[in-house]
Each structure stands twice: as C-alpha cells, then as structure tokens.
Amino acid sequence: MTSFPRVPFLRMPRGPRHERRHVERPRHQGLWRRALIDAVRKLDPRLTVTNPVMFVTWCGTALCLLLTLSPDLFDGPDAGQSRGFNGLISLTLLATLLFANVAEALAEGRGKAQADALRRTQARTEARRLADDGSIERVDSSALRRGDRVQVEAGDVIPADGEVIDGVASVDESAITGESAPVLKEAGSDVAGSVTGGTRILSDQLTLRITADPGKGFIDRMIALVEGAERTKTPNEIALTVLLAVLTQVFLIAVATLRPVAGFLGQAPSVVTLIALLVALIPTTIGGLLSAIGIAGMDRVAQFNVIATSGRAVEACGDVNVLVLDKTGTITLGNRLAEEFLPVGDHSVMDLAMVALAASCFDQTPEGRSIVRLAERLGATLAFDPSTARGIDFSARTRMSGSDTPEGVEYRKGAVEAIKGFVRSRGGQVPGALDDTFEQVSSLGGTPLAVCQGNAVLGVIHLKDIIKPGIRERFEQLRRMGIRTVMLTGDNPITAGVIAREAGVDDFIAEATPEDKISVIQREQALGKLVAMTGDGSNDAPALAQANVGVAMNSGTQAAKEAANMVDLDSDPTKLIDIVTIGKQLLITRGALTTFSIANDVAKYFAILPALFVEAGLGPLNVMQLASPRSAVLSAMVFNALIIPALVPLALRGVQFRPLSAEQLLQRNLLIYGVGGLVAPFVGIKLIDVVVNTLHLV
C-alpha cells in the first residue's frame, strides 16, 4: 500500500469572507435549558419508538421502575429482591435515556437557533403593490401573492421573494448572508435578477414580480429545513437503524431465554439484572447518538452559511467521488484581466486596441472593463458614438460579444474559433498568424480572445487567469480521499490543459457549453460515481438537479436554487470542496462512534456475565475484580449512561477530519475507536466500581 506524507488539511483562503461582518448570527443562549426540557419531552414513548435501541431501553426502564415500586412482582417475597438496587438501576437507565435525548435536543437546538436568526429577518412590512392601472396600493407583506407586482425603493425591506422586472438597485443581503457589501440587482439579468424577502434595498428603485406566496418563500423553506421539520432518515441512517435493530433483536431473544437456561444451572437471575444485561448488550451509545450525529452534520453545513435541503444531501457529500468544478471563480480568481494586445498580419497594436475598445464598450464584465482600461491606457479612442451603436451580448452559444454601428460596421471579440467562423461567414480570410498567436497565449495558460472588425481579423487579446492560492494542495488532498476533480471551462483545450496542469485537476472539459455539464455528470453517474457540482444560472438548473450534490449560489436564479439540494448563502463556489469534507466527516463520525459503541460492549459482558453466573463457575471471568455482583451490574450501567454525554461533544463537532483514503481511515478508526472502545470501559467500569463501593451504594 502506498503511504503518503501527512499534511494538515488546508482550509481555503476565503479572502474578503474573513473580513465579513456577520450581522446576525445564531444565538445559542438558553440552548442547554431548552435541550433539557426537550430531553424530558422526548421521553414520550410515541417519540422514542422511532429509535429501536432507545425504545427497548425505555421499556426496560419502565419495568425497572415498576420493580422498584414492587420488587416481589415476579419472584415472590422470598427471592431477596432489593428495592434500593432496583431503584439505582432504574435511575441509571433513565439517565441513559435522558442523556441520549439531550444529545439529540442539543443538535436540534443549534438548528433552531439558526432558524430563529433567519426568522428575525422576516419582519412583516408594508408593501406597495402595483395595480393593473398602474396605481399603488399599500398592503401588508403577508397579503402579497405569487404574480403580484410591487415597487420598492431605497430604505425599504423587500416584502417577499421576487424577480426584478424593472430598475437597477443595490441591495443589502447581510440579513441572510452576513455579507455587508451590497449587491447589484437589475432587471433582465439571469443571476442578479432575483431578490429575497427580508433583504433591504439601499439605493434607487426596483419593480418586482413576487415569485412566492406567504410562507413559501426562500427563508420560510430554509427555516423549515434547519429546524428539522422536514428531516427524514438518510439511507445510511436507515441501514444503521436496521443493523442496530437486528443486534437488539438477537440480544433480546438471548436474554429472554437466559432465565430458563440459568434455572437449569441452578441460578435465578433477577429480572432487573436481566434488563441490565440486555441494555449493556445492545449498542445504546450509537443508538443514543445516531440522530444527533445526523442533525449536527446538517448544522455544521448551516454554520458554513450553506443551507442543505435534506440530511440526505449532506450525507451524499460524504460519498461523492467526482467534483465537477467551473474554472472561473472556483479554480481561478473570478476576474481575468487583459494583459496585452497581440496584433496579427499588418495591423499595429494601436489598430487592435481601437477595435478591441469598440468591441468592448458595451461589455460590463470585469474582463470587458479590463480590455477597455488597457486600450485607453494605450491611447485608443472610440471611432463612433456609443449612444448610436448597438451592443451584442456574449452568449454561451455564440461565444463572442461586440457592437454594431449604424454604418453597419461589426466589431467582435470572442473565442478564436467563434471569431474565425464569424470572419469566414462575412467572406473574410483568417490569417495563419492567428493560430500561432492563439497557441502562444494558450501555452502560457492565458485565455486568447480574437478580435475582428467585419471580415478582418486584427489580433488577439491575452486575458490572464490567476489560479487561487492553495488550490493545488486541496486537489491533491481530494485525490488522496479518492475524489476525482473535473474542471469545466469555456477556454480552448490548450489554455484549459495548462490551467488544469497548474491547478492539479484530474480532468478537464474545454470549450464547454452548459449542455456539457449535464452530459459529464450523466457519464460519471453511469460509471457508478456520485457527482457534486455548483451552479448559479438557469441553464445550470438541469445539471444541478441531475448531480447527486448540487450547490446553488444564493446570488443565482430561483430555478437554480430550486433544482439544487444546497444553497450557499455566501455564493462562494469554492465551498463545494468544504461541503464535501463536511459530508465525509459526518460519515466518518458515524462510523467511528458505531465502532466505539460495539467495541465497548465487550467490557460490559465481562462485568455482568460473571456477576450473573458466579455460582455456575463463571467467577474467573471477573477480570476487573469487581467487588460484588450487584456493584458490577451497577457500574456497567453507570458507565453505559455516562459514556453518552462524554461522547456528545464528539458527535456534535464531528471527529477530526483527515484527507486519507477509505482504507487508511478504516485502519485509523479501528485503532482509535475500536481498540479505544475496547479498553476504555474496562478502566471506566473498574473506577466506577471503586466509587460505588466507597460510597456503599450497594
């Protein structure tokens, strides 16, 4: 087996996110008080019945309490049953149930705190609804319905989720994202055209079409999700529940048949001792912590400012084999900047700069603005009045943009192949030097943009891509975890290849169209892989729905957010990598605690079985030298109860994540949680036995 040097798992540099002022964070005051109240409420058997291990413990507790009140119920007054001993066992069993409930209630409470923080953004407000005749009617925000048109202006709280149908304005979304910098919202934009209820408009005025009825908005759905109202068991939890139920069933039958067998050997174990044995045998530790681990996993994702639509989505992250990543914003810094103009043929740098300026004067993207800046720095000026010209927007299909003047002059810039096609369609010739320049820029990892005026190619703009620092190490760690990374880019294959090599991704798809996203996902899924991806536009929605884990950006369209199973409130595509590690951590935590739970049962057998059958010659099995059969049973039960709160912090925080392969993780977990789970209870039960006897409890 290949061994890798251990390196700490790096967190992605977040840039401005470190400086973000989180206006509203979940408040955790009163969390414990609420958890304790909920823990008592969860003793209701109709709630406990969903957890087979804890329900069997609940039944045992009820029976022990009954035997505390009436010790001679089963065995008659001559059997020497002790009310005090029965009471102590009942209390430890009750504590076991309460500790397990506290763990679950604590995990739920953190989700509720997150929900409360979201709910505080939902203050009802007055809205200006536009009637069909254009008049304005003032209504309560709760009266708004899907399809209504409302007007909002500077200072207003946006009354409900909607899409911008008119106007441009800056909006403060800090209430839901924690990001204090305002974002621009404008009509007609795919990703900047949707607004969320509860956010505040800072400048100008917008006309909105409401897209959600009251109680059905984005924040309402998020509240329901983080509160756990829509929580259902994940496939892994169901599988583990079946395993725990099978173990419980086996031990129940074994313990139920033990009394006649013991009777045959001349022993008469009391019902309380048999209940103690049953509870010691069944995996109460993992049974008590199972749901808390799942809820805490969702909570960890929420603390990352990512809202998961279900626990299933978080869990799926842990099983992901392939990450499909957009190059821009995820692997490289979002904005490519114009580095230089490279003319071809007889054209000069100034000629190229003039045409590049003309082709970019309507382009408001950072790339377009950087081209304008570079051209103006070189002294280029516009040869026409922009107010009379028409801007041609970039599209994924044409892969070029530009402007048309009233005189019929067409200025274009875009992907080299797209410009070649454009020039040929106008009857022009493509100079051979264009390909040489294209390769020169591509081989440097830059993005070449060809520039033409009508049917004449003038040259190439070199756009420089900057790979995010630390990303190569992240990909290396993901590779060690068995996760393959695929980069999608609209760049040509040479540029894409250079960036893929520098960034260390495993595969790349160059000149990718939106359809390529879905086809690459389907191809990987056909090979049995689980795929994760991010997206924000409406054209990403099918791929987000197809992916096993689809993370939509909060700045994205409603369609993208509805198709995805997670929404990143910070709109940071790099977070996909972090989300996958949280999912892995969730699965590792569940596996580690299951291993621990099953391993620590062994010591309990050595405590209780010799105590039960001391007269049948099993005394030598009392390897812990426990003082008496009753103190042995009580010590095992106390340990069984105390181990649950001892492991609650681990269940809620998750085990420390290390980017190791599945095989290495299994070895590590078996060593730490298997051997640890085997040894710890021997020490713990012995210590408790000493205390029990010192205090003369039995």
Partner 1 sequence: MPMRLPPLLRFWLPLLAVVTILGLVHALGGDHPSAQSIAMALLLTGTIALAGYLFAVIAQPERF
Nearest to 252 by CA among 282, 213, 208, 215: 282
Nearest to 697 by CA among 627, 602, 606: 627
Per the CB < 8 A criterion, the answer to whether 585 and 319 are in contact is no
382-416 CB burial, b ≥16 within 10 A, e <16? eebeeeebeebebeeebbbbbbebeeeebbbbbbb
Per the CB < 8 A criterion, the answer to whether 118 and 176 are in contact is yes
Q: Return the number of the residue (252 or 621) whose C-beta is nearest partner 1.
A: 252
The answer to whether 326 is a known catalytic residue is yes
Nearest to 165 by CA among 116, 210, 122, 204: 210
- Residues ≥6 apart with Cβ < 8 Å to 575: 12, 304, 306, 551, 568
Tell me how far, at minimum, the Cβ of 636 lies from partner 1, in Å.
21
Binding site for partner 1 (CB under 8 A): 44, 46-47, 49-52, 55-56, 59, 63, 73-76, 233, 238, 241-242, 245-246, 248-249, 252-253, 256, 271
**Of 326, 465, 570, 578, which is the active-site residue?**
326
φ/ψ of residue 411, rounded to 5? -105, 130
Q: Return the number of the residue (55 or 596) whose C-beta is nearest partner 1.
A: 55
Q: Return the number of the residue (54 or 603) whose C-beta is nearest partner 1.
A: 54
Pairing, β 205-210 against β 149-153: antiparallel
Between CA 548 and CA 559, with CA 554 as vertex, the angle to 5 degrees is 65
Per the CB < 8 A criterion, the answer to whether 129 and 139 are in contact is yes
Tell me how far, at minimum, the Cβ of 34 lies from partner 1, in Å.
19
What is the helix (H) or strand (E) element at residue 128, kind and residue range? Answer: strand 126-130
Pairing, β 507-509 against β 484-488: parallel
Q: Which residue intervals of 444-574 are DSSP H helices?
A: 471-480, 493-503, 514-526, 541-546, 558-563
Amino acid at 557: T
* Helix 311-319 vs helix 575-612: crossing angle, to nearest 10: 90
Per the CB < 8 A criterion, the answer to whether 462 and 338 are in contact is yes
Q: What is the dihedral of CA 61, 63, 64, 65, to 10 degrees?
A: 90
Q: Return the number of the residue (290 or 358) whose C-beta is nearest partner 1.
A: 290
Q: Return the number of the residue (278 or 634) whose C-beta is nearest partner 1.
A: 278
Residue 246: how many other CB atoms lie within 10 Å? 11
Rounded alpha-carbon distances, angstroms, from residue 599 to 485, 503, 620: 37, 43, 21
Tell me how far, at minimum, the Cβ of 78 lies from partner 1, in Å.
11
- Residues ≥6 apart with Cβ < 8 Å to 610: 618, 619, 620, 621, 622, 626, 629, 632
Q: Return the number of the residue (258 or 496) whose C-beta is nearest partner 1.
A: 258
391 forms beta bridges with: 403
Tell me how far, at minimum, the Cβ of 298 lies from partner 1, in Å.
18
Quote the CA–CA distance of 657 and 654 in Å, as a whole number.
8
Amino acid at 319: D
511-548 CB burial, b ≥16 within 10 A, e <16? bbebebbbebbeebbeeebbbbbbbbbbbbbbbbbbbb
Q: Return the number of the residue (67 or 509) whose C-beta is nearest partner 1.
A: 67
273 forms beta bridges with: none
Q: Return the number of the residue (82 or 203) whose C-beta is nearest partner 1.
A: 82
Q: Return the number of the residue (75 or 404) whose C-beta is nearest partner 1.
A: 75
Quote the CA–CA distance of 683 and 320 in Å, as a whole number.
39
Question: Catalytic residue numbers?
Answer: 326
